[in-house]
Amino acid sequence: MERTFIAVKPDGVQRGLCGEIIKRFERRGFRLVAAKLMRASEEHMKTHYADLKAAPFYAGLCQYMSSGPVFAMVWEGRRVVKLARMMLGETDPAESKPGSVRGDLCVDIGRNVIHGSDTVENAKREIQLWFKADEMLDYASCAQAWLSE
């Protein structure tokens, strides 16, 4: 079973989109294993986005991500990393198809409401960065038997 790190960014939290986003992951058949509302420091965001250090938007991105509460979550399920990325849409909302989070809920690449890990490896790194082991819960979901053969 795979896990991924999903976060509603400060613009998404301010715009009241946490419920809408949680609903989409629940409906798809993924299981919430951890969640917390937190104000990330700029240092934390610099570590999170370390691979983008050279990008011209890096400083602004880290400032924006630490400018208000972020709703951080870990979701579990079969192929959740890839499927969640598809649910998010493209990085640029203008390239995102209707039906995706970014294609439905936002218009600007710099305020694209949601983060999702792009690979299984990065998901592991990000989950460790945002959550302690005891903040994640293992429990049996009654839906499990009905989601896969």
Per-residue contact flags (x/-) with ligand DAT for residues 111 to 130, judged by CB under 6 A: -x--x--x------------
Dist CA 140 CA 69 (whole Å): 30
Binders of Mg ion among 88-147, rule CB under 5 A?
118
Binders of ligand DAT among 5-44, rule CB under 6 A?
none
For the question of residue 44 being annotated catalytic, the response is no
- Residue 36, classed as helix, strand or coil, is strand
Which lies closer to ligand DAT via its Cβ, residue 61 or residue 105? 61
Which lies closer to ligand DAT via its Cβ, residue 35 or residue 81? 81
Cβ neighbours around 20 below 10 Å, total: 15
CB of 35 to ligand DAT, least distance (A): 19
Among 43, 72, 47, smallest CA distance to 131 is for 72
What tokens appear for 37 in the block?
Answer: 């509302």
Binders of ligand DAT among 54-113, rule CB under 6 A?
57, 61, 91, 109-110, 112
Question: Quick one: what does residue 143 bind among ligand DAT, Mg ion, none, with the CB cut-off 5 to 8 Å set by partner type?
Answer: none
Among 128, 113, 140, smallest CA distance to 18 is for 113
Dist CA 33 CA 30 (whole Å): 9
| Catalytic one of 48, 115, 117, 130 | 115
List, edge to edge, every strand of the sheet that includes 2-8: 31-38, 70-77, 2-8, 114-116
Q: Which residues belong to the active site?
A: 115
Query: Given the rule CB under 6 A, which residues bind ligand DAT?
Result: 52, 57, 61, 91, 109-110, 112, 115, 118
Query: Given the rule CB under 5 A, which residues bind Mg ion?
Result: 118
